[in-house]
Amino acid sequence: MSYPEARYDGQTGEISALYRPADAAPELVNSAGGSASYLATGASTNGQFGLYRWNMAASPNGPKAHFHKTISESFFVLSGTVRLFNGERWVDARPGDFLYVPEGGIHAFRNESGEPASMLILFAPGAPREPYFETLVEVGLTGRTLTPEEWEEFYLRHDTYWT
């Protein structure tokens, strides 16, 4: 393993860092009371990665087992207890626990603890995941329905394959 090819060819560096204060409002708030903060999107990282802070409400919530063909995903628990599925078994992950899922890896996450929980979700490369989550929140808040064909197209467009 070695360093990749240089992506910056300047000699003096540049002022280009992005700062997000801890008290910035989340971009998404779902019907269960959880929220997501887009700490870094694929658009803001030149497609290198995306990083979200995922705050889960106390009520049971989270996706069922699935995989992605184009992105890896990593989960780092910040607070509470998050159930993480590694493709074989569920683990009650606590603050500091970490799960890496390469492309094709079956995974899921849930909060079944009855208490709020928070984690970081990192995916690479930085696919445009925001429309996926925004649509799910919008459907949950408005009650809009999609046909089975629309759901199938939606999941395929967003690289989500259910097991």
Decide if 41 is inside a domain.
Answer: yes
Low-confidence ranges of the chain (pLDDT < 50): none
Decide if 21 is inside a domain.
Answer: no
CATH number, domain of 50, equals: 2.60.120.10
What is the domain count for the chain? 1
pLDDT in tens, 4-38: 999 999 999 999 999 999 999 999 999 889 999 99
Decide if 156 is inside a domain.
Answer: yes
The Cα–Cα gap between 68 and 106 comes to: 8
Decide if 147 is inside a domain.
Answer: yes
Per-residue confidence (pLDDT) for residue 31, from 0 to 100: 87
pTM score above 0.85: yes
The range of the structural domain enclosing residue 157 comes to 28-162
Decide if 15 is inside a domain.
Answer: no
Per-residue confidence (pLDDT) for residue 32, from 0 to 100: 87
